[in-house]
Amino acid sequence: MNLEVRNLSKTYANGVIALKNISLDIPTGMFGLLGPNGAGKTTLMRIVATLLEADSGNIHLGNINIRKEKNRLKKVLSYLPQEFGFYPKARAYDLLDHFAMLKGIKDRKNRKQVIEHLLKRVNLWDVRKQKLGTFSGGMKQRFGIAQALLGNPQLIIVDEPTAGLDPAERNRFHNLLSEIGEDIVVILSTHIVEDVSVLCTNMAVINKGEIVLQEKPLNVLSDLKGRIWEKKIEKMKFSDYEKKYNVISTRLFSGKTFIRIYNEENPDNGFSPCQPALEDGYFYHLNKN
Amino acid sequence: MFQTIYKHELKENIKSISFYIFAVVLFSIAYLNASNTSPGMVIIIQHGQSLHNAPVFIARFMAIMSVLTLLFTVRMVGRSVTKDFQANIHDFYFTLPMCKAAYLGGRFFAGITANTFIYLGAFLGIVIGCSVIDVKYVGTHQLSAYLFTMFLILIPNIVIIGSVFFSLATLTRKMISTYVMGVALLMIYFIVALGIADTSHETFKTLADPFGIGFLEVVSKYWTIAEINHNLVPLNKLIIMNRIIWLSISIIVLIFTWSRFKFVSVLEIKGVRNNKIKYIIILPLTKTKNIFIKYGSYFFPRPKEKLISIGKEASEAKIVEGYDRIPSFAIDDSFVSQLEKCLRLIIIEFKRIVFHPAFILITIVAMLQIYINFTGHDVMESIKYPITSTYLDHVKNVDIFLILITLVFSGIVIWRERDYQSNELYDIIALPDWMRHFSKLVSIITMQLSVLILCILLGIFTQVVIYGYTKIELGLYIKSLIGIQLFRYFYLAVLFIFVQNLASNKYVGYLVSVLIMVIGAIIPQYIDSDISLFLYGKLPDYIYSNLNGFGHFTAILIWYQIYWLCLACIIVVISTILWRRSNETSLKFRMKNAANNFNKKYRLTLSVLTILWLLAGCYIYYNNHVLNKYITESEQKLKLATYEKKYKQYQNTPQPGVTHVNLEAELHPEDRNVFIKGFYILQNKTQNTINEIYIGLSDRKITKINKFAFSSEIELILEDKEHWFSIYHLQEPLLPGAKLRFDFDFEILTKGFSINNPKNELAHNGMVITNFPLLPPEYLPQIGYNQYLELSNHYGREQYGLHVHNHHISLDDSIGLYTTAFRDLVTYEAVISTDKSQIAVTNGELVKSWTENNRNYFHYQTDSPMNNTLVIHSGKYQVMKQTYDGLNIEVYYNKNHAYNIHRIIDGVKSAYDYCSKNFSPYTYKDLRVVEVPNCWAFLRGALSTPTNFSWSEDAGFIDDLNNEIAPDNVFPIAAHEMAHQWWGHTVRPASVKGAEFVVETMAMWVQIMCMQREQGLEKTREYLKYEMMDYLRSRGSEIIEEQPLIYSEGQGYLSYRKGVVAVYALEDYIGEDAVNTALKSIVGTYGFKEAPYPTSFDLIKAFRSVTPDSLRYIITDLFETITLHENKAESATCTKLGNGKFKVNLTISSKKLRADGRGNETEIPVNDYMDIGIFGENNEDLYLKKHKIEINRMAIEIVVDKKPVRAGIDPYLILIDRNRENNTVEVEGI
């Protein structure tokens, strides 16, 4: 079951154009949606999750017309919003039970099994009787994932899940996501390139409401092969280099400035070739437009 | 540092929008209050005849406003630190180099200053409000009055309120709970204030009230209008003490806050658990321990719940691998499953509501208030049996609480997901559109239901456990609280949820909801037509009677319920369609979306509901306006005014008197219809010939007139149905002494129901029909112009182009002397039939009763003439009969109200003995007491007619007399009403000023004498004490002018309260026998006589004739003037004499004051006989004698046999004296 986005546009009431005629094909498996802050990722996610109304365009999940058959989609949809909270006095187990019930898992024994499985899986089983108000950020995020795995989702949307997580939590989160079956559509929206390179088999880059790249990460890397060069430079000379080369990124290391450029051939001038990373592709395509 | 923070904060406060809104609100209320000259309307305080800018009013107004608008202070002062937490910028402030005191102090005092500025708006409102009204309402503005109010009332109040809520908000860092606490404390204050309002301990009352309202009440308690107008509020020790006490408390609270406050980002977990402080500071404040611990947990957190720190958790984090796939599960999408989900949502929401501290707190306060009101009683008020209907009256107190929690929780519930940011999680779950809205609505209704069930349980518990009363009327509980009240709250819940659903945020929702409520409460006062179908959720007024049940109110209630229920359901459907179910929350989008989703199901539901709603509305309108006539208040006033304008010219035209009344009345209580046939014999009792006869009969109750006929040729020359007036011209004039028969036949039919003219007196059980002259001529025709229908000044005669007049006519008015409110003396005969299950009662002697055609017939007759003030009753009555000294006493009562029948009979017997012995024998053979249902709103107590009295079920039938604390009010009422058989029905006063002195004061005289015989001297004195206090207190709220007793006009506080004190004093001076000799001569001269009728002057003349010359001044003091005494015992010392006796040296002071009608007093010389008393152990009377006091200060030497304890002047308060406590002093020496 693929997710097809066709000619989707959205302009907010205050005049901000969030999406400009976007089309995307998202196959099953993990799909990474990359983009800087304010690129329109969350808007797109929310439209797909029925939480926002598009001005024009179509979205289909298999044979479900999402804009028209919201309730049909909701039956197979899971969504982990970018920011969310829970009633702080509710206890983890009770609230998950509550959601399970609402999602239609009616049989009590069955529900108990599922909840136990999920809570163990997100490593919250020991704190299941604690109030959600006392959870740390990572625990809350994991609880969110457990909630998202409930039901029988065909489409899982995860919006910037790792923002604000420490490396260990992020790692654990990646593991959880990677276990989600490959026969359903999982959209992971993020501005962290590493998340995508670790998890996703397909990806798209969105910027200023437009898709600037849609490709498999492996292809992105292979396209860049031999075209990324790096050099340590004086900070003051940066503008010279910027004029002369297609600078993708700069980074500081031990107080020195390193720049990476895209060049089809060896630019010489002290540049050394280097292994392309997904990040290079991301920046390359962002800057290209 | 402090200065910087203070200045910045003050600027911020003054820039805020709420600053201006609050100031405008206060200004408007003050303006409306000060400029309100309509006597019927009270905005905050009633001005009566006093100046609107009287110093004590300004002080009281501001004191009350500071409490009523407590939430303004909570907002301005309470929020001054918490807003940093809300805006999440506290960390920036907390990392600045400043000290706690400067930060907290700067914020606090800036809040106080800004708040004080806000209240300047109210001062301005008073000044401007006073400037727009007639100068006669306004005195010179006294600066000192404003300064006093500002610095001794307002600012301290703001500091007191501000400090408490500042501390609460700052320490808990939560604003919403602080607002809720604000409201709760306000409620608690009102309850406590009510509780201490009755205490006679005035020092306590003054000190216990943190806002100075109690103080202002105590000090101006007995102020007359003149004193109110000119006196500044005295700056005495008590108010200073009060302010010191309460300001110290605020300082302690502030210091506590300062010491507990920490510049930390998040509240510390391992805070010091200082139980001592908690118990000292928190608990005594409230006594609702549990709730406070709940609240307290924010700053005294329970240690067992550990907050898991992020670091610790991270270090434990393991990479989880190799888990199996999620166990398979079945998704159940059936309808049953949906219902189960809905139930689940309801339960979880309901649980969250009922465990919310605000809910618990408010519910406890509500239950306490109901309980205290139900079990408590005022001094001198009787205790009622704990019957269910009485309890339900008290449950009405739950109203404000239930409305409040419905309002609060509608907001909380609707916004819950959004407030906790879990809305997106819920919004993507596949639930039917209606379910989220419906579950929230039902959870609110379940909460309302549970509060009402709690009320029922509390009632049953109190009845059974506290009182041991076991006649539980569960059906009545359910009908009243669930069947009527729950629906009302449901309508509100629907409305509030609808508003919250549309509102852009919770607070806008609250504001709009409150505005709707306020507008709904204000509008009816300004709109003078039937808007009952437009006041959302408003049910018609109804009265539950233990005799009549819900009676005829049932139909009207059910129809309005259907009407509102349909409308509420329509709103529910609309609310569902417009439900906020995605991030597209703009109303425009939701409307568009709704239009798309408006499917067949919705369309069908909405149209069915709308049709039902409109049908119900039409049916109600048809009943109110087509079947019955709707007359607005102003139309009614206009009618009365027109009546007077058009027909007053006929007032002096001679009219025949009625000499005989014959009635044949057919009562149908089951369908509330009455058929009356009968005739009057009219006689020309004047010296002139009569050419025209004026007949008055209202169309308000009479549906159809079948016959109006005279025994001689007569021509109808004017028929004004609108104003109840017809003129008949006699072809042959009626000569003096000649008679004429006037026949009538008409029908009173009840059609459907009417909100405007419900005819409550036509009850299914306990029907009452009267022909009193004080009411429009509703049930029997009246002859001539009826002066008692004239509009009183109070209802705005001027507005209707009528000259201002005194309601009563001056004592030498020639027409007045020849009319009496008790009307002609008539002989009376009536055959009354009623339903088989009922008994009919009227005046006179029952000569025969029989059953025919399944109906009961009663034939009453009297040969001795009686006043033409008649009453007909019909009801399912039990009858208690007793014969006493030839008198046939009968009490007709409801079978459940048998408690006090013997006391009624005792009272009747006592007054019968007293009056027949002292005045004249009783004229009739019978005396009947009939219980009437309380839905006859005309009657609040008991009312005497010849041979009968009608007695409201609430006024004594259910009093519990088996206790020592409360007085017996049944016996006195019975004696009083019996006395009216002489004073009113034998001696019939002229319709001039002071008529009520002849009727009511003399009935009070008999009553107090009977009470003294029955209950002893001590209880009588106690009773008189409260009557005197009542009189003194009522003087200040006089709306026209206080009159000397014998000129009293419609002033109950004079004819009853002052009257009984004055006649008792007269008795003290000249003796009971002398008083009765005088009264006997009046009865002898005027009993059953036609004009001229006696006046209060005749009584005074009679009193004077039995009073020795030396004491005659007392008659002037008590009856003919307003005289007050200020007696005081200065000191008393005692020396033991050789012969075992004791010599008391008593110094007394005495002042005598004359007051005019507005209370301006002038001192006059003392030259009076007054009691000097000396009391021994256990209040034993050692000496009590009248001494002549001729100078203001006097030393008296008295020798007594036993050891004296107290001594003083006028110790039993025979004379009217405002300061009763200082009349005696302790005897010193020995």
Query: What CATH number does residue A188 fall under?
Result: 3.40.50.300
In a domain, B78, yes or no: yes
Min Cα distance A85 → chain B (Å) is 5
- Dihedral sign for Cα atoms in the order B277, B283, B289, B294: negative
Residue B1008 confidence (pLDDT) above 90: yes
- Among residues A201, A220, A239, the one where a domain terminates is A220
Residue B271 confidence (pLDDT) above 60: no
Same domain flag for B343 and B484:
yes
Residue B631 confidence (pLDDT) above 70: yes
Task: Read off the amino acid at residue A218.
Answer: L
Chain B residues with CB-CB distance to A75 below 8 A: 331, 333, 430
At residue B510, the pLDDT reads: 87
- Among residues A220, A243, A275, the one where a domain terminates is A220
Q: Among B320, B337, B422, whose Cβ lies nearest the Cβ of A123?
A: B320
Chain A residues with CB-CB distance to B595 below 8 A: none
Q: Looking at the 3D structure of chain B, how many domains does it have? A: 4
Same domain flag for A256 and A167:
no
Q: By residue range, what is the domain housing residue A272?
A: 222-288
Min Cα distance A150 → chain B (Å) is 9
Q: List pLDDT tens digits, range B848-878.
A: 999 999 999 999 999 889 999 999 999 999 9
- Among residues A220, A235, A257, the one where a domain terminates is A220
The answer to whether B675 and B666 are in contact (CB under 8 A) is yes
Same domain flag for A265 and A192:
no
CA distances A85 to A205, A250, B423, B870, B1057, Å, are: 28, 37, 9, 75, 67
The answer to whether B77 and B162 are in contact (CB under 8 A) is yes
Same domain flag for B241 and B374:
no
**For range B1023-1037, the mean pLDDT:** 89
At residue A228, the pLDDT reads: 86
Same domain flag for A36 and A172:
yes
Chain B residues with CB-CB distance to A127 below 8 A: 308
At residue B810, the pLDDT reads: 73
Q: List pLDDT tens digits, range B775-815.
A: 665 788 888 888 878 887 666 777 788 877 655 567 777 77
Mean pLDDT of chain B: 86
At residue A278, the pLDDT reads: 85
Q: Write out the two tokens for B1096.
A: 């209060």
**Which are the contacts of B994, defined by CB distance < 8 A and separation ≥ 6?**
B808, B811, B1045, B1046, B1047, B1048, B1049, B1095, B1096, B1097
Least confident of B313-322, B377-386, B569-578: B313-322
Same domain flag for B1011 and B1028:
yes
% of chain B at pLDDT higher than 70: 93
At residue B1113, the pLDDT reads: 94
CA distances B668 to A62, B555, B749, B834, B836, Å, are: 77, 18, 10, 6, 10
Q: Does B308 touch chain A (CB under 8 A)?
A: yes
Which DSSP letter does residue B140 get? P
- Backbone φ and ψ for A258, nearest 5 degrees, come out as -110, 135
In a domain, B916, yes or no: no
Residue B1139 confidence (pLDDT) above 70: yes
pLDDT-based confidence at residue B447 (cuts at 50, 70, 90): very high
At residue B71, the pLDDT reads: 84
At residue B272, the pLDDT reads: 41
Query: What CATH number does residue B1152 fall under?
Result: 2.60.40
At residue A53, the pLDDT reads: 86
Same domain flag for A277 and A185:
no
At residue B699, the pLDDT reads: 75
**Residue B696: helix, strand or coil by DSSP?**
strand
Q: Among B313, B320, B332, whose Cβ lies nearest the Cβ of A139?
A: B313
Q: Looking at the 3D structure of chain A, how many domains does it have? A: 2
Same domain flag for B367 and B504:
yes
In a domain, B1001, yes or no: yes
Q: Write out the two tokens for A241.
A: 């280099």
Which DSSP letter does residue B324 get? P
pLDDT-based confidence at residue B316 (cuts at 50, 70, 90): very low
Distance (Å, whole) CA B1092 – CA B1098: 12
Q: Does B294 touch chain A (CB under 8 A)?
A: no
Same domain flag for A255 and A192:
no
Same domain flag for A133 and A150:
yes
At residue B414, the pLDDT reads: 92
CA distances B866 to B658, B822, B925, B947, B986, Å, are: 11, 9, 13, 9, 8
In a domain, B759, yes or no: no
Residue B270 confidence (pLDDT) above 70: no
In a domain, B1127, yes or no: yes
Same domain flag for A43 and A116:
yes
Same domain flag for B1116 and B1148:
no
Distance (Å, whole) CA B214 – CA B205: 6
pLDDT-based confidence at residue B267 (cuts at 50, 70, 90): low
Chain A residues with CB-CB distance to B317 below 8 A: 123, 138, 168-169, 172
Same domain flag for A281 and A181:
no
In a domain, B685, yes or no: no
**Strands, sheet with A256-262, edge to edge from the N-terminal-most edge strand:** A246-253, A256-262, A228-233, A272-273
Same domain flag for B1100 and B1140:
no
pLDDT tens sequence for chain A (289 residues): 889 999 999 998 888 888 999 999 999 989 999 988 888 898 999 999 888 888 899 999 989 998 888 888 888 888 888 888 888 888 899 999 988 888 888 888 888 988 998 898 888 899 999 888 888 888 888 888 888 888 778 899 998 888 777 888 888 888 877 877 678 899 999 888 888 888 888 999 999 899 988 888 888 888 888 888 888 888 888 888 888 888 888 888 888 888 888 888 888 788 888 888 888 888 888 877 6
Q: Among B310, B321, B330, whose Cβ lies nearest the Cβ of A136?
A: B310
**For range B6-24, the mean pLDDT:** 87
Range 329-388 of B in CB contact (< 8 A) with A: 329-333, 337, 340-341, 344-345, 348, 352
At residue B39, the pLDDT reads: 62
- Among residues B1072, B1094, B1120, the one where a domain terminates is B1120
Find tokens 């300061």 and name the residue.
B1219
Range 408-427 of B in CB contact (< 8 A) with A: 416, 420-422, 424-427
Same domain flag for A174 and A257:
no
Same domain flag for B1022 and B1100:
yes
pLDDT-based confidence at residue B458 (cuts at 50, 70, 90): very high
Residue B404 confidence (pLDDT) above 50: yes
Chain B residues with CB-CB distance to A135 below 8 A: 308
The answer to whether B820 and B794 are in contact (CB under 8 A) is no
The answer to whether B559 and B416 are in contact (CB under 8 A) is no
Q: List pLDDT tens digits, range B25-39.
A: 899 889 888 888 776
The answer to whether B507 and B443 are in contact (CB under 8 A) is no
| SS3 readout for B731-796 | EEEECCCCEEEEEEEEEECCCCCCCCCCCCCCCCCCEEEECCCCCCCCCCCEECCCHHHCCCHHHC
Chain B residues with CB-CB distance to A173 below 8 A: none
Residue from B455, B502, B504 nearest B477 by CA: B455
Same domain flag for B226 and B242:
yes
Distance (Å, whole) CA A275 – CA A222: 10
Q: List pLDDT tens digits, range B1086-1119.
A: 999 888 899 999 999 999 999 999 999 999 999 9
Same domain flag for A11 and A153:
yes
The CA dihedral of B979, B983, B985, B989, to the nearest 10 degrees, is -170
pLDDT-based confidence at residue B1230 (cuts at 50, 70, 90): low
Q: Does B431 touch chain A (CB under 8 A)?
A: yes
Same domain flag for A156 and A142:
yes
pLDDT-based confidence at residue B673 (cuts at 50, 70, 90): very high
Q: Does B318 touch chain A (CB under 8 A)?
A: yes
The answer to whether A101 and B330 are in contact (CB under 8 A) is no
Q: Which letter, b or e, does each residue of B840-852 get, where b requires 16 or more Cβ atoms within 10 Å of its Cβ?
A: bbbbbbbeeeeee
Q: Does A74 touch chain B (CB under 8 A)?
A: yes
Same domain flag for A191 and A277:
no
Query: Which region holds residue A160: left if phi is over 0, alpha if psi is between -120 and 50, else beta?
Result: left
At residue B840, the pLDDT reads: 96
At residue B794, the pLDDT reads: 65
The helix, strand and coil proportions of chain A, stated in percent and rounded to the nearest 5, come to 35, 30, 35
Instruction: Name the burial class of residue B863, with classes exposed (0-12), middle (13-18) and buried (19+) by CB atoms within 10 angstroms of its CB.
Output: exposed
Q: By residue range, what is the domain housing residue B85?
A: 2-173+206-261
Distance (Å, whole) CA B799 – CA B638: 10
In a domain, B372, yes or no: yes
Angle at B519 between CA B517 and CA B520, to 5 degrees: 60
Same domain flag for B351 and B464:
yes
Same domain flag for B1143 and B1114:
no
Chain A residues with CB-CB distance to B320 below 8 A: 121-123, 172, 175-176
At residue B209, the pLDDT reads: 86
- Backbone φ and ψ for B138, nearest 5 degrees, come out as -125, 135
Task: Provide ipTM, 2 decimals.
Answer: 0.85
Same domain flag for B589 and B557:
yes
Same domain flag for B1061 and B1148:
no
Distance (Å, whole) CA B230 – CA B190: 30
Q: Does B1017 touch chain A (CB under 8 A)?
A: no
CB atoms within 10 A of CB B936: 23
